[in-house]
């Protein structure tokens, strides 16, 4: 996309899922894109991500379906297990079912693999590391980002994809603190063979290699699912607590701490925990939905705009959807970038606000005894931002 005979320049602050997806999407539509990342080198913490059919459609539209399928895993079934005696709550088939229902699969992937997939589809000089953004402002027809090293960058459009504690958000809308959700979580990865294949009363609960399975208990929930080639099992262990003092999002923990927090849970789960190596933990935060993410030629995207709890597994999905939509809206309004940014917010704000609030409701439901059935997600999966 051109302005005054040159490509429109877009600067993206943050090289996470949303920022990199936006960079790929904008690049494919002819924008001159640069990404600025505060870390000294590109990388993503090793953890799993769930990609719903809604998110898969973005990769398909970008021509990345083959690459995604090569690094992602399609689970056989969703298996829910009682936390104490490991009896079966329900088993819902997944593989093939989602294609029939929504025209796209439900996939599981390692965050690092997705990060590399996006990076491999960008020019080698697109991403600039060790660039800690400390603020930004919009001035007439340009937007300016300021960095801790004293440098500045000018662009026609500036996208703040710098996470829940976004410096861009603070600059535009004032300093406030994210809301602690009364949930923290552990992350770990183990070989898939560490999961027993039969357990519970009379070993009546059975797992197939390739199942997505989880335990829902009185003080949290644990989800285990295969990622990549299916040989690794990603563990997310959410825990209800009113206290969180760690500043880091990925504070080191241990399997001893993980096991101690699940005293009384079924021995099959404790057996899986006993095989973990590196364990990390972090507090889970979100923010109340806000109606506006834009100021002048600057806009927020992903967690900077709408951080959400992981209970619907849609945080990364929403950021990736954002990345595609902002490119589409800016291309549709090539002569008026501000109109494009306004259209982006108008399209995305209602959907992401509903995700945020419904994620909170699902967390509240999980704490009920007995817990009600999961909130339906058809409206999430049916949506197609590429249409």
DSSP state at residue 371: P
Q: Which two tokens stand for residue 58?
A: 């973005």
DSSP state at residue 207: -
Whether 89 is in a domain gets the answer no
Catalytic residues: 225
Q: Determine the distance from the C-alpha atom of residue 358 to the mean position of all C-alpha atoms in its chain, rounded to a whole number.
A: 16
Whether 104 is in a domain gets the answer no
DSSP state at residue 383: -
Positive/negative CA dihedral, 57, 59, 60, 61 = positive
In order, the DSSP letters of 65-118 are: HHHHHHHEE--SEEEEEETTT--EEEEEE-TTHHHHHHSS--EEEEHHHHHHHH
- The predicted-structure confidence for 348-380, as pLDDT tens digits, reads as follows 999 999 999 999 999 999 999 888 989 999 999
The CATH number given to whatever domain includes residue 302 is 3.50.50.60
What are the phi and psi torsion angles at 65 (to 5°)? -60, -45
Quote the pTM value.
Answer: 0.96
Whether 257 is in a domain gets the answer no
Whether 347 is in a domain gets the answer yes
Whether 254 is in a domain gets the answer no
Whether 200 is in a domain gets the answer no
* Number of other residues whose CB lies within 10 A of the CB of residue 284: 23
Q: Give the whole-angstrom CA distance, residue 300 versus residue 303.
A: 8
Q: How far is CA 174 from CA 165, 170, 171, 316, 340, in A?
A: 12, 5, 6, 25, 24
For the chain, what is the radius of gyration of the CA atoms? 21
- The predicted-structure confidence for 258-292, as pLDDT tens digits, reads as follows 999 999 999 999 999 999 999 999 999 999 999 99
Structural domain total, the chain:
1
Domain containing residue 132 = 2-46+111-178+288-367
- The predicted-structure confidence for 33-87, as pLDDT tens digits, reads as follows 999 999 998 765 668 999 999 999 999 999 999 999 999 999 999 999 999 999 9
């Amino acid at each position: 996309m051109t302005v005054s005979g040159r490509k429109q320049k877009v600067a993206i602050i943050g090289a996470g899922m949303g920022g990199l997806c936006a960079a790929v999407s904008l690049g494919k539509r002819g924008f001159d894109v640069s990404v600025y990342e505060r870390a000294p080198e590109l990388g993503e913490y090793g953890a799993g991500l769930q990609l719903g059919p809604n998110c898969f459609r973005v990769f398909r539209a970008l021509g990345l379906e083959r690459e995604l399928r090569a690094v992602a895993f399609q689970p056989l079934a969703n298996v829910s297990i009682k936390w104490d005696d490991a009896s079966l709550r329900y088993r819902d088939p997944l593989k093939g079912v989602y294609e029939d229902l929504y025209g796209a699969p439900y996939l599981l992937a390692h965050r690092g693999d997705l990060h590399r997939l996006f990076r491999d589809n960008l020019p080698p000089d697109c991403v600039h590391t060790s660039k800690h953004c400390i603020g930004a402002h919009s001035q007439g027809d340009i937007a300016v980002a300021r960095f801790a090293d004293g440098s500045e960058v000018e662009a026609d459009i500036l996208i703040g994809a710098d996470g829940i504690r976004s410096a861009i958000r603070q600059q535009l809308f004032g300093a406030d603190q994210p809301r602690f959700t009364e949930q923290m979580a552990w992350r770990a990865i183990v070989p898939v063979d560490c999961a027993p294949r039969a357990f519970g009363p009379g070993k009546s609960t059975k797992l197939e290699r390739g199942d997505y399975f989880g335990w829902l208990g009185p003080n949290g929930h644990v989800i285990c699912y295969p990622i990549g080639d299916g040989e690794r099992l990603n563990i997310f262990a959410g825990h209800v607590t009113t206290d969180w003092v760690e500043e880091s999002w990925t504070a080191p923990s241990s399997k001893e701490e993980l096991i101690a927090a699940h005293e009384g849970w079924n021995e099959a789960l404790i057996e899986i925990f006993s095989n973990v190596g590196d364990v990390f933990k972090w507090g889970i935060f979100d923010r109340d939905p806000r109606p506006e993410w834009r100021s002048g030629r600057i806009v927020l995207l992903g967690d900077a705009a709408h951080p959400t709890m992981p209970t619907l597994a849609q945080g990364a999905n929403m950021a990736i959807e954002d990345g595609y939509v902002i490119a589409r809206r800016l291309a549709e309004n090539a002569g008026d970038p501000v109109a494009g940014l306004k259209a982006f917010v108008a399209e995305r704000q209602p959907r992401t606000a509903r995700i945020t609030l419904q994620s909170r409701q699902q967390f509240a439901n999980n704490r009920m005894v007995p817990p009600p059935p999961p909130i339906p997600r058809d409206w999430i999966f049916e949506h197609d931002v590429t249409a």
